Copies of this chain bind each other. A is one copy, B any other.
C-alpha cells in the first residue's frame, strides 16, 4: 500500500515541476505559509463583510460542517465581524465542494490536495476529500487582510498539495506533563500550517501519562498524578481527526521506561524498587522473560483500542546496556541464543515487538537505533541521530522520516531548521526508489525544559518553518520571505489561543513583581537560551524534572527578532559602504536604548531572586552597545579607530560571548563587526 502511494507522489511531484517559476514569484507576494504549489494572481479582490456566506455542495457530513464552522469562527476572530455560523445555499460568497468523504481512521498518504479560486465575485474551494477542504480553508484565512474599504482577499487561483505525506510534530508529555487544552491549541496551530501528524511521546523515565485499566499502577504510581484518562484520549483523538491530524502514540521500550517499573518492577532488568524521582536512566526492560512480552502484548492491545492510527511507535533509542551487563541471567540468555552484543538482544526484542504489533494490526515505528540486520523491513524508521541514518534506512529498504535537524528543544533559529531538507545531505545521493521511501519528517519538542506555560513559545513560530519545508516545493528556500510570512503567521496563531508571544509578559511580571517591566523586556528580547545540550551539560547536579522553570532562560524566545533585525541592518549598512543613513539610524536607535538599559533595569535586578543572575548580562549589553555606538561614529565619520581601543573593545566582546544565566547575548556578533570594521579600511566609492 505504502509503495503505491509513494509512486503516485513521485509522479505528481514531477507534474508540479512546471510551477517552480510561479513559486519563486509567489514567495514575494503572498502571505501564506506553507507556500502553496501553484499561485496565479488575478485582478481585484473579494470583499469580506458580514454578508459573507458559504455553501457546501458535493460530499457533506457533520465533520466537514464542523470544519467550516471553525473556519467561520476564526474569520470572526480575525476580522471582528460576527458572522452567523449558518450555512447558506443561494449565491454563496464561498462555495465548497469535496468529491467524497474521508476514512474513519486517517491514512498515511490520503489525498490532501485542493484548489482555491478567488475572484471579485466569489470564491470556490474544491478538493477530492475534506482533508483538502480543511487545508484550503486555512489558506483562505491567511489571505484575509484589512484593506482601505473593508476586509478583503486578493483575487488568486491556488492549486496545492503536500510534498511529503508525513508532516509531524512530536510532543514529549512524559518528562513534563502537558495538559490536553495545551495539546489542543497546538493541534489547532498544526492544522493552521498544514501539519498532519501529532506524535505523542507518552511516557519517559519521569512519568507515565495514559490511563491503563489493565495495569492501573502505570499511571497511579508511575506518575505524579498527571495523566490523560482513556475518555480524554478518545475525545482528543477525535478532536485531532476533525482537524486532519493523526495521533501516533509512542510507548518507549526497552529504555526510557523507568516509570513503568515503579508499579511493575518485574519488567526491569534490575530488581528495583523504582521511584518517580530524578536520575536513573539505566533502567531498561528485561527482554529475556516471557512475562515481559505478555505484559507488552496486553498493554499494546489496550492502547491500540485507544489510538486507532495504523502506526505505533516503540521508541527503541538510547538503550543504556548497563543493567543488561550487570544481570548474569540476561548475559546467559545472550550467550545461549547465539547473540554477540546488547544490540543483538535489542534486535531480538524488536522482532518480538514487531510481531505483537502486527497481531494488533499496527505498523511498528522506532528511532534509528532500531536498524539491525534482523529488523523486518516493514518497520518505519525515524532518524534523529543524523541525515546519514535516514539515508541508510532508506537504502536498506525501510520507510523512513527525518527528525534530525528539526529538534525544537535545541533552540535553533527558524532559518537553520528551514535549511534542513529530508532529501538533502546523505539522502541526496539515493536512487529514486530509495528516495521514495522517505515519507517526510517530524519536528520534535522534547520537554526537559518545557512546561505548559512555555511550550508554545518553544514550538511556535519556528514550527511553521519546518511545516513549510515538509509541505512546499524544495525550491521554496528564501529565508527572508519565510521570516516575513512566519511573522504574519505568528500573529494569526495567537487567535487560536497559542501563547507563544503572550506568556512572556506574564512571566516578566512574575519575575519582577512589578508593572514596570519595560527594561526587563528589552534585555529579554536580545538574549536566547543556550543552544543544543549546553544547558543540560552544564548542570552541576542531576537534572530534576520537578524543579521550577521560571528563570529568564525558560522564558526568553529561542530566536531573538531584535538581534536578527540588528544583524540585517548591520549587513545593509556595511554593504552600502557605510552610506545608508536609514540603516545607521536604526542601528543607533537600538544601540542607544540598550546602552541605557542597564541603569533602568538595575533596581529591579536587586529586588528579585529571579532577576539577580541577569546582572552581568545586563551590564554586558550596555557596555557592548556603548562600544557599538562609538564604532558607528567612527564609521559614519570615516575616522579610523585606534588599534588600542579596538583591542579593548574586542576583549569586551569576547567576555560577552560567554553564556551567562544559561543565556546568550545575541547582539554580540553584529557589534563585533562594527568594531572590527572601524579599523577604517578604505571603502570602494
Contacts and interface: CB of A to CB of B under 8 A. Distances in A.
A491 B502 CA distance: 13
Contact of A50 (B145, B495, B546): B546
A79 B547 CA distance: 12
Interface string A83-94: 011100000000
A225 B513 CA distance: 44
A547 B495 CA distance: 20
A608 B152 CA distance: 11
A609 interface: yes
Given A50-B548, A148-B607, A494-B506, A224 B81 contact: no
Contacts of A78: 510
A146 interface: yes
Contact of A146 (B146, B149, B610): B610
Contact of A548 (B79, B453, B606, B608): B79
A681 interface: no
Interface residues of A, number: 48
Contacts of A146: 510-513, 607-611
Contact of A79 (B147, B150, B510): B510
A683 interface: no
A81 B550 contact: yes
Q: What copy number does this chain have within its complex?
A: 2
A79 B612 contact: no
B550 A80 contact: yes
Interface string A64-103: 0000000000000111111011100000000000000000
A80 B148 contact: no
A487 interface: yes
A174 B609 CA distance: 48
Contacts of A512: 146
Nearest to A514: B488
Interface in A493-514: 494-495, 502, 505-507, 509-513
Given A148-B607, A515-B491, A609-B148, A225 B82 contact: no
A592 to B, nearest CB: 14
Contacts of A546: 50, 82
Given A607-B148, A609-B147, A487 B515 contact: yes
A20 interface: no
Nearest to A547: B50
Give me the 4 closest cross-chain CB pairs, A-B, nearest first: A80-B550, A146-B608, A81-B548, A146-B513
Given A77-B453, A487-B515, 11 more contacts: A50-B546, A50-B548, A80-B548, A81-B550, A82-B546, A84-B224, A84-B225, A86-B225, A146-B511, A146-B609, A502-B505
